[in-house]
Amino acid sequence: LLLDALKAEPEHAELLCNYGGLLLDDARKDYATAEQSFAAALRVQPDHVTALTFYGLYVQEFRREHQEAERLLTRAVQLDPQHPDALSHLGTFLGKVKQDFAGAEMLYRQVMEVDPLHVNTICNRGLVVQATGGDMAGAEAYYD
C-alpha cells in the first residue's frame, strides 16, 4: 500500500519518510533505499521534522557522520521542540556519541513531559541511569 501511495504521490514528504523508516526496519535492512527516501523527503520539504530526525538517526548509525547527525537532529528539535522522536534521538546521540549523559537525561525528561509512554525514551533513560552508576533500582523501574 505504501508503494502504491508513493506511485500516486512520489513527491509526498511524509510518505517518503515513512517508506524510509520501513526500510530501516531490522527485517528489511535496505539502508541505501532508506537513505534515498529520507533525502527525497527533505528535498521536497526541507523542514520535515520526522525526516530530519530519522535521517539524522540513519547518518549517526550507518554512515557514522556524527557532525552531520547532530546537525540534522538539532535542526529537527529547533523546528519542533516537543517532537518526542526528535528529542529522544537527539538525547540518544548525546549519550551514545558525546557521552553527555546530563544532556541526554534533560532531553529524555522533556520527552516524558510530552509523551510519558514513549517506549524508546523510557528504555534509554534506564540506560543513562545504568551508565552513570545512578540508582539501579530506579533504572530497573524503566524496564518494568
Q: Which residues contact 42 (CB under 8 A, 6 or more apart)?
A: 13, 48, 51, 52, 55
Give the other-Cβ count within 10 Å of 18's Cβ: 19
**Which helix (DSSP H) or strand (DSSP E) does residue 72 occupy?**
helix 66-79
- Of the pLDDT bands very low, low, confident and very high (cuts 50, 70, 90), residue 135 is low
Kindly report, residue by residue over 81-97, the tens digit of the pLDDT. Answer: 999 999 999 999 999 99
pLDDT at position 137 over 80:
no
Distance set, CA 6 to CA 18, 28, 87 (Å)? 10, 18, 28
- Of the pLDDT bands very low, low, confident and very high (cuts 50, 70, 90), residue 141 is low
Kindly report, residue by residue over 42-59, the tens digit of the pLDDT. Answer: 999 999 999 999 999 999
- Of the pLDDT bands very low, low, confident and very high (cuts 50, 70, 90), residue 4 is confident
**Averaged pLDDT of the chain:** 89
Res 25: pLDDT: 79
The amino acid occupying position 48 is: H
Q: Residue range 109-134: average pLDDT?
A: 88
d(CA 10, CA 16) in angstroms, rounded, equals 8
Kindly report, residue by residue over 13-45, the tens digit of the pLDDT. Answer: 989 988 898 888 767 788 999 999 999 999 999
Q: Residue range 114-130: average pLDDT?
A: 88
Q: Residue range 47-74: average pLDDT?
A: 96
